[in-house]
């Protein structure tokens, strides 16, 4: 793939899976912000376009076990999303909620942002649980049926509306994650942090990284391929 200044981040991330690590290292949004031209994103992050492209090209030369989800059957991609992201996320959200509540209760007087952090984690947990349930009950079965050619009549209408709704919810989840990063100063633990605070910050940082890949797989690969299949 030839990367130009106008190549979108989503196109690069889809064609070169190893580029995701480069984007994460430079703080470049490759999921919800995937439609942004790479040169624009580099300028916004204050990094050189050529440097990022070189890093992406170098990453592609290193053997890796990443599957090319742009060519795998859609039902396998759905299975991967559910088993790798949805199922673990449900357990992790419970753990993060409990820690956020405890940190607020014990250390709330030390840092004003902990109240907002607790509120965001609770909101994010409720919304992501609802979001995943809708995907698994409504959208994913519709995509499976479409792929199996069980019914083509009105397939486009059945796919487009829920996909648009899921992408809107992805944007809101992304905004909440971005706010968490800001109020925690990039998850830098304060001097007074106990083991629970450190575990919470580490967990939230890991959640953000996983969510970026999770949303990328849906926004930039699963959804466009499903829409194209629906016609």
- Whether 181 and 81 have beta carbons less than 8 Å apart is answered as no
Does residue 2 form part of some domain?
A: no
195 CB-contact burial (10 Å; exposed 0-12 / middle 13-18 / buried 19+): exposed
The single residue listed with the structure tokens 């633990």 is 189
Same domain? For 36 and 79 the reply is no
End-of-domain residue from the set 60, 83, 99: 60
Same domain? For 184 and 138 the reply is yes
What is the domain range of residue 83? Answer: 74-230
| pLDDT tens profile 91-114 | 999 999 999 999 999 999 999 999
What was the pLDDT predicted at 59?
A: 82
179 CB-contact burial (10 Å; exposed 0-12 / middle 13-18 / buried 19+): middle
How many distinct structural domains can be found in the chain? 2
Rounded-to-integer distance, Cα 106 and Cα 96, Å? 15
Estimate the share of the chain in helix, then strand, then coil, as percent rounded to the nearest 5.
75, 0, 25
Instruction: Output the pTM of the full model.
Output: 0.82
Same domain? For 49 and 120 the reply is no
Rounded-to-integer distance, Cα 147 and Cα 149, Å? 5
Rounded-to-integer distance, Cα 213 and Cα 81, Å? 10
Same domain? For 46 and 91 the reply is no
Rounded-to-integer distance, Cα 24 and Cα 6, Å? 20
Does residue 182 form part of some domain?
A: yes
Q: In the numeric block, which tokens belong to residue 138?
A: 């409504």
Same domain? For 134 and 219 the reply is yes
- Whether 29 and 220 have beta carbons less than 8 Å apart is answered as no
The single residue listed with the structure tokens 């109240």 is 115
What was the pLDDT predicted at 31?
A: 85
What was the pLDDT predicted at 78?
A: 97
34 CB-contact burial (10 Å; exposed 0-12 / middle 13-18 / buried 19+): buried
Rounded-to-integer distance, Cα 144 and Cα 128, Å? 22
Sign of the CA dihedral with 171 first, then 22, 86, and 99 last: negative
| pLDDT tens profile 188-215 | 999 999 999 999 999 999 999 999 999 9
What was the pLDDT predicted at 172?
A: 96
Same domain? For 99 and 205 the reply is yes
Same domain? For 87 and 183 the reply is yes
Task: Please provide the distance, in angstroms rounded to a whole number, between the alpha carbons at the two ends of the chain.
Answer: 26
Does residue 31 form part of some domain?
A: yes
Q: Which residues of the chain have pLDDT under 70?
A: 63-66, 150-157
- Whether 121 and 100 have beta carbons less than 8 Å apart is answered as yes
Q: In the numeric block, which tokens belong to residue 175?
A: 């905004």
């Amino acid at each position: 793939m030839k990367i130009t200044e106008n190549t979108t981040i989503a196109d690069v991330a889809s064609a070169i899976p190893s580029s995701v690590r480069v984007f994460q290292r430079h703080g470049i949004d490759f999921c919800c912000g995937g439609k942004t031209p790479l040169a624009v994103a580099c300028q916004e992050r204050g990094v050189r376009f050529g440097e990022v492209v070189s890093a992406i090209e170098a990453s592609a030369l290193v053997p890796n076990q990443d599957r090319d989800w742009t060519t795998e059957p859609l039902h396998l991609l759905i299975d991967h999303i559910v088993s790798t992201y949805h199922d673990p996320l449900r357990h992790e959200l419970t753990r993060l909620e409990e820690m956020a509540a405890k940190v607020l209760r014990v250390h709330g007087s030390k840092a004003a942002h902990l109240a907002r952090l607790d509120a965001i984690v609770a909101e994010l947990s409720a919304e992501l649980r609802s979001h995943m349930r809708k995907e698994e009950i409504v959208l994913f079965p519709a995509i499976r049926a479409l792929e199996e050619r069980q019914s083509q009549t009105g397939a486009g209408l059945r796919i487009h509306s829920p996909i648009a709704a899921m992408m809107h919810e992805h944007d809101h989840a992304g905004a909440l994650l971005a706010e968490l990063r800001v109020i925690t100063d990039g998850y830098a633990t304060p001097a007074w942090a106990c083991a629970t605070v450190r575990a919470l910050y580490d967990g939230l940082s890991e959640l953000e990284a996983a969510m970026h890949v999770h949303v990328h797989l849906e926004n930039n690969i699963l959804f466009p391929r499903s829409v194209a299949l629906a016609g």
